[in-house]
Structure 1
Amino acid sequence: MREDRRLRRRNETVQEILDTAIEVMGEEGVAALSLAEVARRVGMRPPSLYQYFPSKLAIYDALFERGTRQMVEVLDPYLPRLAEDPRRAIAAGQEATIAWVVANPVLAQLLYWRPVPGFEPSPQAFGPAVRQLEVLGEALRAAVDAGQLAPAAASEEGVALFTVLMSGVISQQLSNEPSAPAGKGRFTRLTPKALDMFFRYYAAEKGEPDE
């Protein structure tokens, strides 16, 4: 029980450090994270912080993993809807993704940009991002199987094009109107139109789209 309490306290401290790091990055910029400032805000000396994270890059890595895990959690509720109407489920899942991005701009920058020189997520941190792409592929294949999209929509190129369209919306929103509410921003409002462009290009009745 004593070990369990110690582990629980450690986990709570880790989450507090990460929450504080997000707070600092939100004020100073993602690449301007100061471990000394994080330590000051959580009430510990900088050397003590290294007992939890050996480097600044380790904090970025933990935050990247937090963000990718949250993104997968956002999409999970829409997977059962694929059996009913894949296209509608894809659209709803993407709207939820945009809402998460608007609510978590610091984590979104880590996921969608590369704002920190020298930072590359570890395989563990990147694992949920791979799952996110797998979920997208499953959703597009479900739409193909339902006759809503052409087979090419679920190809490697189709998945890549989908991410380009949605990442473009996200990047423009983060760059120009980061504080605008989801669905109200000049660029996030274009999400349905961007999805419609994808769906029309890969419309089932057209078969394989022209190169």
Structure 2
Amino acid sequence: MATTLSQGDRLTRRRIAAMDEALGHASDIVIADGVGAVSISEVARRMGMKPPSLYKYFPSLHALYDALFARGQRLENDFVAEAVRAVEPGLQGLLARSEACIRWAMTRDGRAFGPLLYWRPIPGFEPSPESFEPSVEMVDGFRSDVTEAVHRRELAPWADNDDTVRLLSTLVSGICSQQMANQPLASFEDGIFSSLTTSALTMFVRYHQEEKP
């Protein structure tokens, strides 16, 4: 049976559509001119509205950055989740998860949202707890795979700790950062830094398979 949307439903849909459009324009600006080029006035101009109208959806520039951060992290999480969907948990999941993060950083979405996720290019900006939650979920996925890898004796018992995840995060984000900064349009296989992924992960695994240093 057909139903009629209430005025509240219509307003909600319009609000969501407007916010999606604004974030699309903001990500285009990041790709073309960098994170610092994003402004309420420029996004509003591209939407054909006055800046005060955009403030109804984003009360400040930092609120717009916060929404960009949240969207980017969700997109990365989705990309990684798909990459590990059919992979055994444990070491294989850990390796697939790590490679997927680097591959995502080299996609259009990675170029649009990665600078906010991997760097801190905006003075005074920190993501809100709500927007940061997907980042926590990402780390939890890595942590779970580390624990499972130790349980399966794929990594040494001493590796089952947060420092192992932090070290892996440093390695992965370092490759992402170097690749984005120096050769953002390269393919994963041809990137001068991304092509080192297998070597870097092999060193990481061998280190965590040895007796505790």
Scaled by the length of structure 1, the TM-score of the pair is 0.92
Number of residue equivalences = 205
Give yes or no for the alignment of 1:52 onto 2:57. Answer: yes
Q: Residues 40-189 of structure 1 correspond to what in structure 2 (within 5 A)?
A: 40-77=45-82, 78=84, 81-83=87-89, 86-103=90-107, 104-189=110-195
Give the aligned partner of residue 27 of structure 1.
32
How far does the alpha carbon of each residue in 1:2-32 deviate from its partner, in whole angstroms, 9 at most, with x for none? 3222211210110000010111122221012
**Residues of 2 paired with 1:73 and 1:152: CA distance?**
30
Does structure 2 conserve the Cα–Cα contact (< 8 Å) formed by 1:79 and 1:139? Answer: no
5+ long unaligned stretches in structure 2: none
Q: Distance in 1 between matches of 2:138 and 2:49?
A: 36
Q: Which amino acid aligns with 1:70?
A: L
SS at match of 1:81: coil
Give me the whole-angstrom Cα distance separating, in 2, the residues matched to 1:56 and 1:121. 12
Which range moved further: 31-40 or 194-203?
31-40
Shift of 1:70: 1.7
Distance 2:118 2:157 in 1: 27
Mapped to 2, the partners of 1:15 and 1:154 lie a distance apart of 40
Q: Percent identity?
A: 41
Amino acid at match of 1:200: R
Code of the residue aligned with 1:42 in structure 2: it is M
For the Cα contact (< 8 Å) 2:80–2:101, is it kept in 1?
yes
2:200 is the alignment partner of 1:194: yes
Matched-pair contact (CA < 8 Å) for 1:74–1:93: no
For 1:115 and 1:19, how far apart are their aligned partners in 2?
19
**Mapped partners of 2:49, 2:119: distance in 1:** 31
Q: What whole-Å deviation, never above 9, does each CA across 1:95-140 have from its counterpart, x for those lacking one?
A: 2221211112131110010011110111011111111111100011
